[in-house]
Amino acid sequence: MKMRPRAYRLPADAQDVRHLEELVADIEAGFNRKDAAVLDGRFTADAILTVPDGTTLRGWDDLFAYHTARLAGVVRDWSTRISVLSVSPLSTDIAVVQVEQHTTTPERAFTNHGTIVAIKKERRWWISAMQNTTVV
């Protein structure tokens, strides 16, 4: 079998990990406060988001419109807790972040796993792509 290249440089920088954990905490806070501006505040203008039902949103304006409607609608009584499972740097300014999201609704609780592609621009981390899948 051929040698395969490694994608991730290890270990992750401790300060970058803290900043990425803060970025994820902003998503959680925005969801729990039902504030789409906070939830989507760290996405790039051209971000791509695939939500658990497979819908893909492209661009911050579409994300914001989607989350504004969703937070005022079906998920208004839901709460969530999001944990960072791992941070895998591709370079000093690109990282893949694996997250686990535990959500509680009035009827049930469920877990999602997600992947974030984060980029650092001008010393600040942003989400350029994110995918979130419900664990069955």
Give the domain CATH number at 83.
Answer: 3.10.450.50
Residue 6 confidence (pLDDT) above 90 = no
In-domain check, residue 3: no
Percentage of the chain exceeding pLDDT 90: 88
List the Cα angle 65/66/67 in 5-degree steps.
95
In-domain check, residue 46: yes
Range of the domain at 52: 14-134
CA–CA gap between residue 57 and residue 91 (Å, rounded)? 26
Residue 39 confidence (pLDDT) above 90 = yes
The string of DSSP codes covering 58-87 is: ESHHHHHHHHHHHHHTTTTT-EEEEEEEEE
What band does 2 get if pLDDT is binned at 50, 70 and 90? confident
In-domain check, residue 9: no
Average pLDDT over residues 7-13: 83
pTM for the structure as a whole:
0.93
pLDDT score recorded for residue 57:
97
pLDDT score recorded for residue 30:
98
CA–CA gap between residue 9 and residue 89 (Å, rounded)? 6
CA–CA gap between residue 112 and residue 78 (Å, rounded)? 14
Residue 10 confidence (pLDDT) above 80 = no
pLDDT score recorded for residue 136:
83
In-domain check, residue 5: no
- How many domains does the structure of the chain reveal? 1
Q: Is the peptide bond before 52 cis (omega within 30 degrees of 0)?
A: no
Which residues lie below 8 Å from residue 121, measured CB to CB, with a gap of 6+?
Answer: 93
In-domain check, residue 6: no
